[in-house]
A and B are shown apart, each in its own frame.
Chain A
Amino acid sequence: MSTGSGAATFVDRYPEEASIVRQAFFVAFVAFGLGALFGVIQALHRTDILRFIPSTDYYTVLTAHGVLLVIVFTIFFLVGLFQWAITRSFDRPVEDIRITKAWLALMSVGSVVTGVTILLGFVDEVGISADVLFTFYAPLQAHPLFYAGLAVFLVGTWIAGADWFRSWLAWNAEHPDDRIPLQAFVVLTTMLMWYIATIGVAVAVLFFLLPWSLGLIETVNPLLTRTLFWFFGHPVVYFWLMPAYLLWYTVLPKIAGGRLFSDPLARVVFVLFLLLSTPVGIHHQYLDPGIAESFKFIAMTNTMFLLLPSLLTAFTVVASVEHGARQRGGTGLFGWLRALPWRDPAFTGMMLAGLMFAAGGFSGMINAGMNINYLVHNTLWVPGHFHLTVGTAVALTMMAGTYWLWPQLTNRRLYSRPIGLLQVVVWFGGMALMSNAMHVSGLYGIPRRTAEPQYQGFDFSTAFGSVAELNVQLAIGGTLLFVSALLFLANLAFSWGNPTTSGLGQTLPPALSGPDDSPRVLDNMRLWAAIALVLVALAYALPLGAIVADSGLFGPGGDAYPVTVVLNSVAVTAERLTASVGATLADVGGVLEVIR
């Protein structure tokens, strides 16, 4: 039995860095709480169970939900976690804490500016709004502050990455013969991917959308800015996922009582993500007119290759957990599962998150197939899918990881482990309901991004159950998720009231098969970055060239939907357009696609 005289905690050794991590997490969790509130409002509104807001405000809510959760929550958690991982695994303080504080401040200021601009959409008198959803496709137009905040936020993340590369260089100078520690390896490969990915969104925002919303240029080419968005939009999903993977690879084995099965395999996985996650973005545009089928086909092929690192991850992570179970005395083909620490919320949370990710893998394969995608495109199936992936695999792992990290960052115990356990289980149950209802609704053609998906004179036909039942299921699921979010935040808030204790420190065990079993070339960041750039150029040069050749850098002209000036909600616009095209369901899907 352990004695309780644990190692020093992270905050004991690196108080300044720990404070940075806590601040980043704080911003993340504020965004998470607000995002969850908007989520439950949507779930109740679109199912017509309870409507707190006028439907014309739905897009303000939906924009806030998307941006706060997938930009602010996930990425602030990421930078906090990565700062912890870099400092911990290099075992050295940041080179210059002022720089570290500066990027966190830039990211925070940018997020507040963008966030406030979105929320001002609720206050008609101000005349400022940004109801453009987190994808901000033209011709939807936001107030310039929306894009400006985003740009400042991005610059903050770039400096963060540079800060971590600087730590690596400094460490490397002192340890020229050592392999990069795995946690730092994850951070560095992920940030390389981020630099490449953000080229797309930075160009879209700085050269087109921001000048356009400032009135400096008349028009933009919507297909070009969309394509640039998805250049960024697919790798960003791996950006969300990598913090979860970092926790699964380096913390989960420890909590399970075992060791990482293979460090070399882990490195291969992260290199594959760096190489493959960008040249696939066009798989989000299977239904975009103006992109040749052949380019879509290439994107599909690349996407299928991306399954490989995720399958390798499933194997490595489960094997590491099994190692823990067997060390704890577990036996049998499946019996070892019972020897795992299921009462530990950090463990159970991460395992449930992984289970949901496996389910998300299936719906992801459906999305990725060019022809099957037609069936589900822009239906509620799609949010059903990504609430399994980013909404659970990532978000629930982050919450579970917080339960483990909390004492390391604060020297305080968690207020209640049983409440933590309840929280992760309720999230899982709520998501099982909500996501299932969304998937099934989507199969029946119920659209996403719609405040009132009920069309007069049209019945959504269902094979089993009824739309009313699906709606109730969705609403109950959404409510449970909201309750779970509150439990999480309350548990942390109460934990802050706990007295500080010593001896809470934990160490992470080395991998069973260590880094020395792998070729050194895996650590060659320059090489991988160069190959990644070449692959991106191969995948994107022709499609982008074709788009510009077809309709120019600034498009064929056409009106913006200046939701900033006329408070003409997209829902109303959609209805108008729908009426003029003839309201068959297929048309609705098509129109939403065009105006989106």
Chain B
Amino acid sequence: MSTASRVMDLPEERAWKLPSRGRVGMLSLIIGESALFTIFVVAYIFYIGKSLTGPTPAQVLEVPILGTICLLSSSFTIWRSEHAIEHGRMRAFAGWLAATILLGLIFMAGTAIEWHKLIVHDGLTIRTNLFGTTFYSLVGLHATHVVLGLSMLSVVLVLALLDRFPASQSERFAVIALYWHFVDVVWVVVFTVVYVIGR
């Protein structure tokens, strides 16, 4: 290395900036969670068509178009609300956040209706056959993550409405938003595997 560049390297001469620990932590968690989902997805794919008895996916599954649209657009609304809090527009922040939660709730309602139909009408439970086992596990695992994300967002919303979530917390909110985006991306994979490939 030349002398000039070594002088540049001296710590005094350069601002010392490190990535935010919240983001690094959340990204690490996301990597770990991805491995968890990967195992469930692999199991799902491996067991496609291996059930010994019915019902089969083709007979009972309907593509959850509305829920999917809602969940995916919630990535947009939460991005808007991130943007708002960064610029200190707290009303807009709360508004977009509420929209995000609403969209998430519609998604969950869709899942509830779907499961009700499958269990009561089609008689498909987790013990019926391999399809039931893998379907409820994978979709359920994802739904658990949605519920977790919704809980975090709701806490933030309540705090924001009470004026307890100042704009200075935008970094924290960005970390939660990162998680929410991850939950969305996972749904794209689950949707593809369960409703496109597996049906």
Q: Do A and B come from one complex?
A: no
The interface of chain A, by Cβ under 8 A from chain B, is none
